[in-house]
Each structure stands twice: as C-alpha cells, then as structure tokens.
Structure 1
C-alpha cells in the first residue's frame, strides 16, 4: 500500500501526455483500485463483522465516508457504522467500550485499539493488521451515513463530477488545507456539488427531498430520492476543474452562505433573523422557534451549510488565517488555469507555492 508521503508527492509521477491521460495516471497512483477494495477492504469488513457477531449476533456493518462516496485515496481511513439489533442496545459509550474489548480478543487481527467517548459520535479506532488499514467504528448512526449516500448518488450522476471531486480533494490535500482542525473534506466536496449545481449539472437537495416520505435523524430530514437528472453540459473535465478554481477565486465568502440544499448563495444577513429566512428552510425555522437546534454559525470566514442539518456550518473550523490561505490557493490555481497549457496544468497546480 502506498504511504501518505508517496500519495502527497506527485512530482515523481512525471505526469505526461494529454490532460485526460494524466488524470488516469494520477488516479491509478492515488485512488483505490477495484482489487484493493475487493481484497483489502472486504477482508477488513468481514473480520470486523464476524468478530463483533460473536457478542452481537445479527449486527450489520455499513461503510460510509470517502470509501462509500468513491473519493477515497489509497491511504484513507475506513469509516464504518455498526448497526446492533435492538435487543442488545445499551448506552452509546458502553457499546463503544464493549466493542473495543471484543476486538481486543483478536490480537491477530486488530491493533492500536482506542476509543473516543463523551463526544457527539463515540468511536472505536484500530488498525486492521492483515491490511494495515486504520478504521473508525461508530454505533450511533451519524449523519455521515446519509451524507455519504447522497454524495455517492450525486457524484455518480456524471463521471466528471466524481473525477472533479477527486482532483479537487487531492489538490487541497497537497496544499494542506483540509483535514482535522482545517477545512473539512466534506465541506470541500459540498463546494464541488455547489459549483456543479451552478452549471445545472447536479440537482438541488431541496428538489431531491420534494414529495419524499420524511426520514428523521434527530430533528432533521435525511430522506431523498434518486432521480435521473437531465444534463446537457459538455464541458471537459479540465475546464470544469479550471472553472471551479475561477468560481471560488471570485466568490464573496464574506457575505454569502454556500447552500447546496437550495443550490444558490444566500446572503448571511438573512440568517440573522428567523423572519427573514428563505421559505425553503421551514424545517430549520421551526426547529429554531422550538429551540430544537442552534442557529447556523455565520460568523466564520467561510460558511458551507450542511445538506440535511441546516444549522450546521461545515466550515466552522476555518479561522481567518486559514480562510485567507484557502482563498490564495483558489486565486493561484485560477491564474494557472488561464496561463498554463493543457499538458502542464495539473503539474502546475500541484506545486506547493
């Protein structure tokens, strides 16, 4: 398996050929192959499920996050939700500690076991020894499961959407502004969705929830329907990538909320008073009035609104210095798109400036 150092050092790959040929080579180098998924990940899933079923018969495993979405790199952690039959349900923290103890009995399979409890989503962390992959297990169905299903659907409506998401994620990883205590990868992917919505290549989430039976997660609706979405856009992947950089190099982050839910920018000031919130946010407005949720945090350099939990700013950890750095990278990449040839564009944007 490639190391994180290898993944984040594209220089030795010597990307050559047309833009599309370079993308194929890059993806082969950094993304999971079908064999890796089938051989490594399926073995990991099988070992985890079989081990936990010795204590919780009938429990099920559901991968989510980058692996489910199709945007995982070779070095990506594996995120899994474990659904336990109702007759075994106890307190969340107790379940997590019990799972850690169960897995610890198989020291031939699982190492470096640790837990995070007293947090919004308690998890068990470990390394799967046969595949050397790090894995996080959660037992409280997080919004990440529904978000991952939605992103999988959106990115597979058009292959260019998935390819664009991978390229943008890799570019951001190279320049070290996504990750823990930085811009969340999920927020960046929502920005890709938002950009493609402006091009009418992807539907709004509001449209996908229309006339669909309500499915509640806490106080939010996580239901959506998969539809065949007409898309006549013929823009090449290279120009979609360059257009993404240009769009956000000019974007007015200071005054707007990026809302993939409605597929358009919303002035931040409209979220300052309940009475001025858009009619599309009736659930958010109702939850606010009943004090079932917090207000959307709009006092940050960037505000990317979650697709289901409309009170969640997914870019809340972007503080002023990081925000300036991210905008600088957008401007630099946009200039390179305008100045570099098709053959040198990818090489140029991956150089650390």
Structure 2
C-alpha cells in the first residue's frame, strides 16, 4: 500500500508566499501525489492483481520505484514487480506475453499496451484508464526493490531527507539531468551520499557491521530496525544549497561517490582488488563470481549500493560537462541570490521560454508554470 506524506501549506496562493519554506511546502503539495491519487493507484493494483490471478494462482504485484519510497509525483508512472510462485526467470518472457493477452481483453480499461525488452529483461507498459497513468510491469524487480528499500530507509530518517530528495529530483528533471543518461535512482544516491557527509545518514557498510562476512545476499536488509539518530540541525534551505556546492566542488577526476562506505573513494584504489579499501573486501568473491567490476575509469563515477558498478558508466563527455556545470550554476545562485528567490532561480531554464511548444515533457513545463510567480515575491 502506498503512503501519503502530508505537507503543511500556509496560504492558498503561491504568489503570496514570500518565504522559502512556504514555497517549498507549496511546491511539494502541488507536485506530489495526494490521498485520492494514492487510493486510485492502490485500487488499480488490487484489481490488476485479481485479474492476473485468473491466469496464475497466487500472483503478486509489488510496487517499486519512486512511489514505493514515498516520493511519487503527480506525473509518475507506476512500476510493478510481478511475482508468480514456482516460476523461474526463464519463463519471464512467456509471463509478460500472457499478461499482455489478459490486458487486451479489456480495452476500455487498458490501452497502449507495449512489450519491451531492456537490460533487466522483458517488461510490459500500458496505460491504465482508472488512474490515467502509464504502468510498467516487470518480472525482474527483486534486486531493484532491495535497493529502493534501502533508499526508503534513508529518506525516512528525517523529514528533511525526503523534502530535499524531491526538490532535487524536480530540479534534475527541469535541468535535463534525468530522463536519459541519469535516472532518478542516481539522484537518490547523490542525495544519500551528501547526507552521509553531513552525518545525517549511515554508510551501507556501517549498517552491516553486525553481519558476518559473506555474499551480498547475506546482508542485513531489515533496515527499519537499524537505529540511527540525526543530530544535524541545518535548515532545508542550507542543505539544498550545500548539496549543490558539494557536487560543484567534488573532485570527479580522482574520486568516486560511494554510498557503500559513505565517503569519496580514490579511483586509483580500484586498480587492483588487493588495493581496494577494506570495506570492499566483502565483495571480492562476489565480484569475481559474477564478473561485476566497479568500472571507475569514467569522469563521473557514482557507485551502486550493491554491485558497486558505476551507474554513470554510459555517460559521454557532453553529459559530463553538463552535469558539472549545472551543479556549479546552482551553487553560484545559492551564494548570490536572496533566499526568497533561490527556489525560483534553480528552476529557471533558458529564460523560461514556453517549452511546452517544443514538445518537452509535460512535467517540466508544469513545474516551471507552478513557480512562475516566485518572481513576484
């Protein structure tokens, strides 16, 4: 079941909101899912699962993605992991094909049904009329769910964590960081790593301190029982500005972003498994067994929390430059622009021309419209 996070709002019109915190609250309420939308999605999942069970007894639909960790936006797709008892992954393509056949039997409820095959295997995408959303269904969501459960644990440590992550997610979308080379998951890792530098989140390694050495599947995944107290009292405004400044000044040429150890790790340390930091010894056998290497030679290196592979390994030189420059630009605005105009400034792109006429993503355009009157405060 989805969880709705209630944000307080002071005032009914954004144009009357002169305070940074009020602007943030209005932005979050306007962009994030509300209780009615949450209920619609929950009901859709229940009904879709019932339909699948007419074909496979015991079929389960499990939610993952941004909605799973509480930062679903009004424009978010719904990502579902289809789990069927006594089926192994060799049958995934067959299951997805049969799911498509079931959906085609009710064209008034489901449309735009497409079969796809990506790096994680076969999946199906369709449009659900009851929620007016696109739904993505995969049979290979177990590992991704574990990663997102970890992210969810981090975001629930403090109210500011989820606020910061949502703002950064919207900022990344508007500034064209996500949607291609960079996925939202990468944004989550950047935020988590920054919070680790602020001592506002533990490293993954610290969270496994009580576990005996072994493969990743032996790791403690009962995150909700892991105690951690956030003692940092910085405001959301300063955390957001600090986030931009941290990555504007980060030494990308020599270091990796590593949420696993919670600190920058020198790329040269991965020249050999024998020189890797001691915190990575637990993965030595795993990396040899499944042939997963850190792949740290690219300019931008953000390590995945489980495999430690660089999730930005496919970035090209143009994206690298854009990534670094967009952080430097936001950091400069934090230093130079008054607090009450800062939020508006980081969402302002190319003079805010009417990008809706250029076929851009509706989410980007709506976010820009949403904060137009910040200029009036």
Distance 1:245 1:15 in 2: 27
Q: Counterpart of 1:250? A: 249
Distance 2:89 2:256 in 1: 39
Describe how 1:1-353 pairs up with structure 2 within 5 A: 14=15, 16-38=17-39, 40-86=40-86, 91-117=91-117, 119-180=119-180, 182-212=181-211, 221=219, 223-226=221-224, 227-290=226-289, 292-310=290-308, 312-353=309-350
Distance 2:257 2:245 in 1: 16
Change (3 A) 1:258 1:88: closer
- 3-state SS, counterpart of residue 80 of structure 2: strand
Unaligned ranges ≥5, structure 1 = 1-11
Superposition TM-score, scaled by structure 2 size: 0.84
Change (3 A) 1:201 1:24: same
- CA deviations over 1:68-91 (Å, ceiling 9, x no partner): 112221111110111111169861
Distance 1:315 1:51 in 2: 38
Q: Is the 8 A contact 1:123 1:137 kept in 2?
A: yes
Distance 1:88 1:284 in 2: 26
Q: 1:140 Cα deviation (Å)? A: 2.3
Change (3 A) 1:256 1:262: same
Distance 2:16 2:249 in 1: 29
- CA deviations over 1:165-187 (Å, ceiling 9, x no partner): 0011111111111123x212111
- CA deviations over 1:250-306 (Å, ceiling 9, x no partner): 00111111000110110111112111111211232113344x223111122211101
Distance 2:202 2:88 in 1: 40
Distance 2:214 2:45 in 1: 27
Unaligned ranges ≥5, structure 2 = 1-12, 351-377
Q: Counterpart of 1:6? A: none
Distance 1:304 1:288 in 2: 17
Task: State how many pairs are aligned.
Answer: 337
Change (3 A) 1:314 1:35: same
Q: Considering only aligned residues, what root-mean-square deviation do their CA atoms show, in Å?
A: 2.2
- 3-state SS, counterpart of residue 106 of structure 2: coil
- CA deviations over 1:186-223 (Å, ceiling 9, x no partner): 11110100000001001111122233489977x78573
Distance 2:213 2:41 in 1: 33
Change (3 A) 1:301 1:15: farther
- 3-state SS, counterpart of residue 223 of structure 2: coil
- CA deviations over 1:57-112 (Å, ceiling 9, x no partner): 21111101111112221111110111111169861211111111122222222111
